[in-house]
Amino acid sequence: MKIAFGCDHAGIEIKEKLIDFIKSLGHDVLDFGTNSSQSCDYPDFALKVAQSVVSKAADKGILICGTGIGMSIAANKVKGIRAAVCWNKETAQLISQHNNANIMCAGARFASVDDICSWIKIFLETEFEQRHLKRIDKIKNIEQQY
């Protein structure tokens, strides 16, 4: 798959390890930055990754900030994006199985790089369960109405 990656300064220290790990799983990575430890604004990177996913340039996205929360809030403003924060292996699985998340978000200040790698692998390798489709369609309806 093609995986869009973005982080802010909170994720810069683990960025290369995460990208190398994603590549080691056999995926191509589209790197949308950031590229330095200088303070920056997470919505800028969330937008680039989200656009890459909705345009189908990427199949899925990974966004890392301090908590994962700011990235998810920003990415979810883009139509067609289901960005979800995960914080353990179970939630990494459920955001794919139940929510059909197309972007995984995680918090670099609250998890180890090894943990986040394991969540990324689970997120990328877990299939959506079709029995949840009705709920995903209802999310799309909300998006169209408001």
Residues near ligand RB5 (CB under 6 A) = 8, 10, 42, 65-67, 69-70
Q: Is 98 a catalytic residue?
A: yes
Closest distance between ligand RB5 and the C-beta of residue 10, in Å? 4
Q: Is 65 a catalytic residue?
A: yes
78 or 136: CB nearest ligand RB5: 78
| 68 SS3 class | coil
H or E stretch at 8: none
136 CB burial (10 A radius; 0-12, 13-18, 19+): middle
- Total Cβ atoms within 10 A of residue 9: 17
71 and 6 Cβ atoms separated by less than 8 Å: yes
Closest distance between ligand RB5 and the C-beta of residue 135, in Å? 26
Closest distance between ligand RB5 and the C-beta of residue 34, in Å? 10
Catalytic sites, residue numbers: 65, 98
